[in-house]
Structure 1
């Protein structure tokens, strides 16, 4: 029963919460908003709130819903912060600090950078208690909790000491669905708590909560009578006009400027059925929601039988409907087709830009008989790895260096040394980023000089083993051991094909990081030097003396 209720709640929030509904390959677009009536209303509300300079706390129950809302905010280019159970403590404090900084006066002309983020996406359970977010003056509940006290606590994040603005609370509820059952149950629980705590209202409230009420009906079958299978099969529902949605959003936000009174504490419910009928309205929080007490198990079964009869008369028989189920083989075929399409699109773009990838493909390991070779070795030397001719003047050389996936060439250390060696190296790295050819685990080999021109052939291998995210406290991550191993195998395979040796610094040793990273790297070096029969030189770099 609980599983079915969760699925019904997903249907109320957004259809993309169900697997296989969103288009593949997924691309951001207006379909994200148009797929959900609730998100269409939220879109209009946020547009007006953003224009008037307000700040918003947006609560949702499920982290999957937060993912969809985050995609929506990215689509509309609204600044935001996010907080859920997976956010670490330091990131949590940074998000709160970024949202709270700047003015909260609600001036539409204020600078958004100084004012902080426009929306704070919060999971109700993870961020409903212990936060002081008085920078916001609007609280929107995209999904409601079964326990009304949880939503009340979440609302209090904006009702803190120092709040100078009126706080507007908006509940988005899909009409005639399980969400109205949740709201009715929440109302009864609040009445019960008032009757226990406040003796003055116990007489009035006791009548409402005693005995079975309409809120105790099965939420699974609530609203089925309002859905006619014959009308649903015709797909004749009309889309709401944008002007009507706009008018409704303006009417909701206009309540902020009205004077508050005990009789004017309102919550607003947007109904998906009202949207299709173009009949927009606001429901008072003290209004009784008609849960149709006459709907029982017998009514539910009669509705199911009617639905079966309609299904049999339509063109698509149940057998045909079953045949529409996607098998695992078909799913793999679709994924392969999507990958091929994306690859063709990428190659067409590269051809237009005149770009040729320097990324090395995954290596093919030698046969089992040649798996271990005595010719491979790892040597430790003193010097500069960007001058491999000092150690190996009579053979081709590959300089191995680690980079991140940001596409921004760094400064100092190996970055300056490689740039002095040849301007081709930073240019190739930045060019690969511009063309979308820079991913974790990629190894790009750039040829610096040719043996035919003079001297021995020299290449630079850039291993993409670190991720970069400017939103993190430390933007550049640590070296990924799995991606480093993949890049080392690619570099070793390329060195074996070119009859070259590999020259590299002692990775992660001089920057004060955990030395265990280096020892695991050393084992990988010995492994691939032995497999491919190559020589790898690891350099201890000594800074030149000032004297």
Structure 2
């Protein structure tokens, strides 16, 4: 129906953007010119419009905003308005943290309040920042009616129905629409393209527009070819992350008739984009032209520029790189990886490496640098929290001392990591130290994501933070590195670095931005003499080369950095492995940390906050080794400190390979081969097994005599390879009743998972009543297990449902099972008899349930466990992590149900 009414919709709501007669004449005037001349003519046309145009009014009344704009924001809004009136689509490329969102909102408010433009306006952004957009528009532009087009499929269907009804009314303009601004995400634009592409958007704003850097992407082409959005603004703090082709993609999206093809653009400016160009004069001339052209279509300001001009005041930023040593366990794991990959290391020396193999080696080495517990079999049994977690990693030892000082002084921390498995380890560490925290990664659902951000940002003062808010915000760099405002923190720690330093730079701006009142300390933890140091030194070297060629302007600041590990980069990184001396692996003295040294290092880092700083941000390197004795352990990092030779030293690498082969033969220890678990002393193990077997035989004999058959599931005999997980297993979040799984999985075998305690008394209400209605055999089996002493923490009782389920509305043809997980203790003598959920026992039950589901080709359905009404998000993070782990491990689907009460629509 919507497709049939497409023409009618567009007729009802004509585009209200101003005509573009002056700019439309430009292509015809420029036909005799070559590509470069045409771009210069287009830029001159825009600059000429600037010179003759009156400055548009940008006071709060005319803008319709309830905010006092800073001088650079006033300038930015004025620039955006002039470009709009001239008919030019542009990029707002201000550095992160300068208030691009407020400038864009001011423009939309100006269009409606001052120019009386009826809209509709479209705002596209990542899911993580939709909450921020809604909040800022509500606070600063109350005259804008905003519709958040997000949420579940059914919710969006209802919104579409309301919008369509409004658009179907007889009207000559867009006043009947229920919104001025529609806010949605990239993913939803693709999902609901058929509807959203039919609306003729008067103006579109695309936030975090680096998502459009690939002109071959589905998102780029859907927006460009299918959406009616002739007037648009792109917003990005990193207009260039890797190369000039990304810049062209953004400029072409804005003004395709001006910027032509990628081949034309690269041909015209390839020298400007190549730091190694032998003709420096030509490169500088091309860069000068490129800068002139870009300036007409992109507004780019950096914090350092504005601070030097005196138009922006921000607290100081001090960046410190702490070089962390490998502890003995890490060295052995590191060597084990290299020993395992020796064939590929030799192949690299011959010049014929496999890129996939190299990438895997680098990833495994980076895991060892972060924490050896990334690998199965390294963590000592029994798997319990303890100091071994901290002592196993040089980085974590240093982080431990830093957080102690930061917590004592009332500071708050953003802790970034690349790998979610590292976040899991850091979360275990925070639990060990009893530090309060929030967590945000790609697996966190939107509701928890927004709640975590609000919770962390709610209390700003140090004293409030100690009492009410989280001390640490755990964030995966890719999930939370853009668009968020987290100025409640004044310390940013990078436990792992991204391949692309611009990604970390973006993440740093979550705290060092407008609204921050404290001196911001950024701490990068880098493992010295390892693959991490090689990656860091290469990044510094490449940024410095760009700086030497193109100066301090936009292109050098954004660099031509690698966004990922390409073949040449990987080869260079591997050739830098000779920084680690294999002989050092057996040096036990190098593993001994002096607690006083670590404390002194932490105090020195903390002292940076109290020192007077210049207007420019400072960068330092710190090495904790021999901290009490060395004088020059803190060095200011500048161009002169980047000493890594960028030339590939293959001779040194070959010498290192030979030295490594000798050391690996001498120091080979099978205990540290990845995948091997430590075994208990043989004699003690055999005695324990014999006693256990005898007790089990006696128990089974008694049960057989009394006619009892246990439904308890045994531990899986074997688990899949923990290094390999399936992409098809997943956790799904749905609304409904988990005891009626056929509504979600109508043709699939199903297991209903529910938690119980050790009391043996079947409860009332909630899941107890629902399961009893499903089958009386469920409570009967539970009570009988208690009667025969078959109810222990960690047990999973799998009960098959054989009754006809048609009376409950479910299909009678699909067999079902109910899995009762015994995860809560019960002691009637305690004031609160029922204990809280035991996470280790829950994990054991999930392991059994997921293994059983895989054997039966079934899915698991459960209510939400643990986290209720936001009272303990950390527990839910842990549970959700376990669900995803076992869904992937056993290639099954797990459905978590949110129960929608009758009062909820």
Is the TM-score greater than 0.5? yes
Alpha-carbon deviation of 1:463?
4.7
Q: 2:534 aligns with which of 166, 181, 202?
A: 181
Alpha-carbon deviation of 1:248?
0.3
1:105–1:165 Cα contact (<8 Å) kept: no
1:59–1:123 Cα contact (<8 Å) kept: yes
Matched, 1:259 2:612: yes
Secondary structure of the residue aligned to 2:586 is helix
Paired position in structure 1 for 2:711? 361
1:199-236 deviations in Å (ceiling 9; x for gaps) = 67999x99xxxxxxxx998322425255152x533534
Paired position in structure 1 for 2:865? 468
The alpha-carbon distance between structure 1 residues 254 and 359, as it changes in their structure 2 partners (threshold 3 A), is farther
1:124–1:154 Cα contact (<8 Å) kept: yes
Q: TM-score, normalised by structure 2?
A: 0.36
Matched, 1:106 2:462: yes
1:397-430 deviations in Å (ceiling 9; x for gaps) = xxxx9964488998767979xxxxxxxxx99999
1:456-511 deviations in Å (ceiling 9; x for gaps) = xxxxx99556552126759999xx9xxxxxxxxxxxxxxxxxxxxxxxxxxx9997
2: distance between equivalents of 1:139 and 1:30? 24
Alpha-carbon deviation of 1:113?
4.2
Judge which range, 15-24 or 133-142, deviates more: 15-24
Matched, 1:127 2:480: yes
1:237–1:276 Cα contact (<8 Å) kept: no
Alpha-carbon deviation of 1:168?
1.0
The alpha-carbon distance between structure 1 residues 474 and 402, as it changes in their structure 2 partners (threshold 3 A), is farther
1:248–1:280 Cα contact (<8 Å) kept: no
Alpha-carbon deviation of 1:139?
0.4
Paired position in structure 2 for 1:302? 655
Secondary structure of the residue aligned to 1:437 is coil
Secondary structure of the residue aligned to 1:129 is coil
2: distance between equivalents of 1:299 and 1:24? 40
The alpha-carbon distance between structure 1 residues 270 and 97, as it changes in their structure 2 partners (threshold 3 A), is farther
2: distance between equivalents of 1:327 and 1:59? 28
1: distance between equivalents of 2:899 and 2:554? 71
CA-based RMSD of the aligned residues comes to 5.2
Matched, 1:220 2:570: no
Paired position in structure 2 for 1:289? 642
Q: 1:437 aligns with which of 764, 787, 793?
A: 793
1:312-351 deviations in Å (ceiling 9; x for gaps) = 5x4x6x7xx57986888999999xx79x88x97xx9xxxx
Where do residues 443-458 of structure 1 align in structure 2 (5 Å cutoff)? Answer: none
Matched, 1:19 2:376: yes
1: distance between equivalents of 2:609 and 2:519? 7
The alpha-carbon distance between structure 1 residues 405 and 292, as it changes in their structure 2 partners (threshold 3 A), is farther
Matched, 1:47 2:404: yes
Matched, 1:155 2:155: no
Paired position in structure 1 for 2:599? 246
Where do residues 19-418 of structure 1 align in structure 2 (5 Å cutoff)? Answer: 19-102=376-459, 104-107=460-463, 110=464, 112-114=466-468, 116-191=469-544, 198=551, 218-222=572-576, 224=578, 227-229=581-583, 231-262=584-615, 265-270=618-623, 281-286=633-638, 287-291=640-644, 296-310=649-663, 314=666, 360-362=710-712, 404-405=755-756
Secondary structure of the residue aligned to 2:518 is coil
Alpha-carbon deviation of 1:267?
3.8
Judge which range, 122-131 or 406-415, deviates more: 406-415
The alpha-carbon distance between structure 1 residues 414 and 89, as it changes in their structure 2 partners (threshold 3 A), is closer
1: distance between equivalents of 2:434 and 2:709? 33
2: distance between equivalents of 1:46 and 1:89? 28
Alpha-carbon deviation of 1:38?
1.0
1:57–1:140 Cα contact (<8 Å) kept: yes
Secondary structure of the residue aligned to 2:514 is coil
Alpha-carbon deviation of 1:134?
1.0
The alpha-carbon distance between structure 1 residues 127 and 330, as it changes in their structure 2 partners (threshold 3 A), is closer
Gaps of 5+ in 1: 207-214, 348-357, 365-400, 417-425, 444-460, 481-507, 514-547
1:101-127 deviations in Å (ceiling 9; x for gaps) = 22x2323xx46342x111000111110
1:58–1:142 Cα contact (<8 Å) kept: yes
Number of equivalences: 388
1: distance between equivalents of 2:622 and 2:410? 24
2: distance between equivalents of 1:289 and 1:412? 66
1: distance between equivalents of 2:462 and 2:439? 21
Alpha-carbon deviation of 1:66?
0.8
Q: TM-score, normalised by structure 1?
A: 0.57
1: distance between equivalents of 2:680 and 2:391? 28
Secondary structure of the residue aligned to 1:176 is coil
2: distance between equivalents of 1:63 and 1:509? 28
Gaps of 5+ in 2: 1-357, 560-568, 696-707, 715-751, 770-781, 800-817, 822-861, 884-897
Alpha-carbon deviation of 1:11?
2.3
Alpha-carbon deviation of 1:184?
2.6
Alpha-carbon deviation of 1:245?
0.2
2: distance between equivalents of 1:510 and 1:62? 34
Alpha-carbon deviation of 1:97?
1.1
1:38–1:270 Cα contact (<8 Å) kept: no
Secondary structure of the residue aligned to 2:634 is coil
